[in-house]
Chain A
Amino acid sequence: MKPVLELKNLQTQFETRSGIVRAVDGVSYHVNHGETLGVVGESGCGKSVTSLSVLRLIPNPPGKIVGGSVMFEGEDLTQVPDHLIRNIRGKEISMIFQEPMTSLNPMMTVGNQISEPLIRHLGLSKKDALDRAREMLDLVQIPDSKSWLSGYPHQMSGGMRQRVMIAMALACDPKVLIADEPTTALDVTIQGQILILIKELQEKLGTAVIMITHDLGVVAEVADRVVVMYAGRKVEEADIHTLFERPRHPYTVRLMTAIPRLDRIAAANGAPERLTEIPGTVPLLSELRSGCAFFDRCAFASEQCGKEAPVLEEKSRGHWAACWNEAPFQ
């Protein structure tokens, strides 16, 4: 299958007082038509910056895309002129953000906000756009959609606002939807509802979804394929089943053991099992060492790991990992 969106060796840097920060350091991934790609990693590993780079939404200065390409429909999005990328944003590729509470303009009615991309990209009249906005509200299952058109964001709950964001993002029927931690700010029940909604709409509209999250539970729920990022690089990529059954990168393994599991709590005579965490913190991206970025926190690190950064190689079919260790972990 031909990928809809393909990132090749993307590099994004930030110039700061303490030096150049390579927030995204040669990341490549692709997403196919109708597929959901999960991008996982802890805070500050560059997953959001990668997705913002796709639409060139990195504030410049201080940020800058310095290398690589983002291929979409035969064009490199890092190179196209500004007015063309504006035609792609929201129409071909759209985004949902982490904070539904602050991602809507408080001074504008919900109906007008959903209409904006419709008027901008599809050239609809105000009236037609409002009609379509109402359909979108129905689609994202907001009850009483007609009256909500004239409602303001502050009258809505977080879950409803995220539904509005989804309605806005999908209004122009985009080919790719980038969801940047869409459920992080929501409580667990609403989280589940929003994930199911995204999944349903994806099946209905055939949109490719890039789901960025730090929550492996979310990934397990929705993703077909997963990319694990650490310190601005891709460290592992596999389809969802392979990743959970045979993770090949120690970081992925540690992430999985750090998830609390109900079936393990009562393992040892009713005494709860201790949750293992990953020791240490993510290294500062401006002070990366020469070897593997995970070296200081890795239990399996060898001498080679400290000297040479591991290269990404295909361990089994479709399963890529950047680790010198050959044997799979248990």
Chain B
Amino acid sequence: MTVTPSPSMIEGSASKNGWTLFKESFQHFLASRLNRFSFGLTVCLLLLIVIAPFIAIYPYDEVNPALGLSPPSWAHPMGTDQAGRDVFSRVIYGARTSLSIGLVTVLFGLLTGVTIGAVSGYLGGWVDEIIMRIVEIFMSIPGIVIALALVSVLGPSLPSIVLALSIRRITQFARVARGSVLSVKSEDYVTACHAIGMSNLRIIFVHILPNCIGPIIVLASVLLGNVILTESTLSFLGMGIQEPTPSWGTMIAKGNEYLTFAPWISVFPGLFLFLTMIAFNLLGDGLRDHLDPRGGSVV
């Protein structure tokens, strides 16, 4: 029996340009309430990066010892920290550092790690053995130790922190990508690709990787929160973002000492971190389902 194509399909892509297709696909993505929520939240958070100077009431580094540790009030909606700096303004500015460190690190780790893992899994044999042993060596050293070593050599600047945090993510992405590629490369359609004379590069990047996207997106959304927290560990040890530049991780860590009598110092950046993780995890889930043409939630 022939299957009749659905109406949306009949209109066809041959006659449409990329932009219309993208618009339709995007509208379809936003049809789900959960996707609308996660997408909206993500946009708001990213917007914070841009408009931080306009909504922050005080400069993030304005010290006012007289007002130290004051609870939330109209003047300071999220209270002040031990040095009397406005927590709200610092949280807003902190979005800049934390989100950019998180996004750049995950993106860098994803691109590098997935490429390494895909090539390794696809080629197999001794190439795979060597690459995976190197990856395992890096995995056997605790991530924070590698990061500390790198930052202490390169100095605590933004690029070196991103690099230091990336090393660990590269190994994680590489392993997940390799596993997926291993299972996909033995699929019949990959053999069919060989049989029509495609090059290895095209087979890996056009045919195999799009079919591995599910687990990679999920890992990316999980690692984003993870990176933001690891950065705070670095800061706690004095190797992360340096005061007075705010980052959520640092604020949570520093606020720890005052948790019993001034919880707002930690709670508000924690809340934003939580929202970020929720937003990206849900967005990742939604994207994964959306990108699968079968429309199911198959990973």
Using a CB–CB cutoff of 8 Å, the interface residues on chain B facing chain A are 1-3, 5-6, 9-14, 125, 187-189, 191-199, 207, 210-211, 292-294
Contact = CB atoms under 8 A, between A and B. Distances in A.
A144 B4 CA distance: 9
Interface string A77-94: 000000001111111001
A72 interface: no
Interface in A154-170: 154-157, 160, 165, 168-169
Nearest to A131: B14
A111 B10 CA distance: 13
Interface stretch (A95-103, A252-260, A272-280, A285-293): A95-103
Given A97-B191, A106-B294, A117 B196 contact: yes
- 10 tightest A-B CB contacts, nearest first: A90-B196, A89-B197, A150-B13, A102-B188, A90-B197, A86-B197, A152-B293, A147-B10, A117-B196, A107-B210
A111 B293 contact: no
B239 to A, nearest CB: 42
A183 to B, nearest CB: 16
Given A106-B294, A107-B210, A91 B3 contact: no
Given A87-B197, A147-B9, A150-B12, A104 B211 contact: no
Contacts of A134: 14
B124 to A, nearest CB: 9
Contacts of B187: 102
A38 B9 CA distance: 39
Given A90-B195, A148-B5, A105 B293 contact: no
Contact of B197 (A107, A117, A160): A117
A64 to B, nearest CB: 13
A112 B102 CA distance: 36
Contact of A97 (B9, B188, B210, B211): B188
A246 interface: no
B5 A144 contact: yes
A279 to B, nearest CB: 33
Given A57-B194, A89-B196, A152-B293, 19 more contacts: A87-B197, A89-B195, A90-B196, A90-B198, A94-B196, A99-B188, A102-B188, A103-B191, A104-B189, A105-B210, A106-B189, A111-B13, A120-B196, A144-B5, A146-B14, A147-B10, A147-B11, A165-B192, A168-B196
B123 to A, nearest CB: 12
Contacts of B197: 85-91, 117, 120-121
A154 B292 CA distance: 11
A176 to B, nearest CB: 12
Contacts of B198: 86, 90, 116, 120
Contacts of B195: 55, 57, 89-90, 94-95, 97
A121 B26 CA distance: 34
A107 B5 contact: no
A149 B196 contact: no
A26 interface: no
Given A86-B197, A97-B192, A107 B211 contact: yes
Interface of A: 55, 57, 61, 85-91, 94-95, 97, 99, 102-109, 111, 116-117, 120-121, 130, 134, 142-144, 146-152, 154-157, 160, 165, 168-169
Contacts of B292: 107
Given A146-B14, A150-B9, A150-B14, A104 B192 contact: yes
Contacts of B194: 55, 57, 89
Contacts of B9: 147, 150-151, 155
A57 B198 CA distance: 12
A56 B50 CA distance: 55
Contacts of A104: 189, 192
29 contacts: A55-B195, A57-B195, A86-B197, A86-B198, A89-B194, A89-B196, A89-B197, A90-B195, A97-B188, A103-B189, A105-B189, A105-B193, A105-B211, A107-B211, A107-B293, A108-B210, A111-B14, A116-B198, A120-B196, A130-B14, A142-B2, A144-B10, A148-B5, A149-B13, A149-B14, A150-B14, A152-B293, A155-B3, A157-B3
A129 to B, nearest CB: 11
A168 B125 CA distance: 31
B67 to A, nearest CB: 57
Nearest to B296: A154
A106 B14 contact: no
Contacts of A55: 194-195
A99 B187 CA distance: 10
A157 B10 CA distance: 17
A3 to B, nearest CB: 21
Contacts of A61: 125
A179 B199 CA distance: 22
Given A94-B196, A103-B189, A156 B3 contact: yes
Contacts of A111: 13-14
Nearest to A95: B195
